[in-house]
Copies of this chain bind each other. A is one copy, B any other.
Amino acid sequence: MIRLLLADDHPVVRAGLRAVLETEPDLEVVAEASSAEEAVRLAAEVDVVLMDLQFGSGMHGSEATAEITASSDAPKVLVLTTYDTDGDILAAIEAGATGYLLKDAPPEDLAAAVRNAATGQTVLAPAVAHRLMNRMRTPAAALSPREIEVLGLVADGLSNLEISKRLFLSQATVKSHLVHIYTKLGVDSRTAAVAAGKEQGLIRR
């Protein structure tokens, strides 16, 4: 019998997962959490955690995943979310998630994924696997710390002049950083850079 914890801030989603998974004789939902903090507390009791990423407030799902997988003899964490953006996927994998599924997955796949995860097998939704392949093929746009700092200020709406003052630089240096950012991200404007940076999880979302 595989014991499950459902971590999602939407009661409707928890009810749906429960309905879908409890038709399986070898799966048992033994706990539900409506926040990431609660999920961390309850994780020790189960074999597999179904973890959402976005909670209304408080801890993020990937943080909770990292805390759960940090302990020895930790349960497997299966991330189950709506989005398949690069940033989310990478954060979840780095946090030690065993798998990454999307909520539009058919119920059959869900049960199968839980069983695979319980044995430690990595399980990825097709769309997620596709993204990861793309990322391998296209070397990640690794911005330097300074460049990320500049991009963050751009995302806050600051002009080059304002950024230069904030960071005690000349405008020339700010522009220089921006040129590098644009080439690395494959864009040609500050707004596009912000959009791309968010997409790839380079700046806070």
> For the complex, is A18 an interface residue (Cβ under 8 Å from B)?
yes
Flag if B11 contacts A13 (CB, 8 Å).
Answer: no
Known A-B contacts A17-B16, A18-B19; A103 and B190 likewise in contact (beta carbons under 8 Å): no
- Interface segment, one of A59-67, A152-160, A168-176: A152-160
B155 near A12 with CB under 8 A, answer no
Report if A192 contacts B (CB, 8 A): yes
User: Closest approach, in angstroms, between the C-beta of A33 and any C-beta of chain B?
Assistant: 14
- Interchain CB contact under 8 A, A12 and B107: yes
Task: Report B-chain residues with C-beta under 8 Å of the C-beta of A195.
Answer: 155-157
Given A157-B189, A205-B205, A56:B12 Cβ within 8 A: no
Which residues of chain B have C-beta atoms less than 8 A from A104's C-beta? 9-11, 56
Give the one of A9, A13, A159, A193 with max B CB within 10 A: A13
| Bound-complex Cα distance A11 to B10 (A) | 15
Query: Residues on A close to B: CB < 8 A?
Result: 9-20, 56, 82, 103-107, 110, 154-159, 187, 189-196, 205
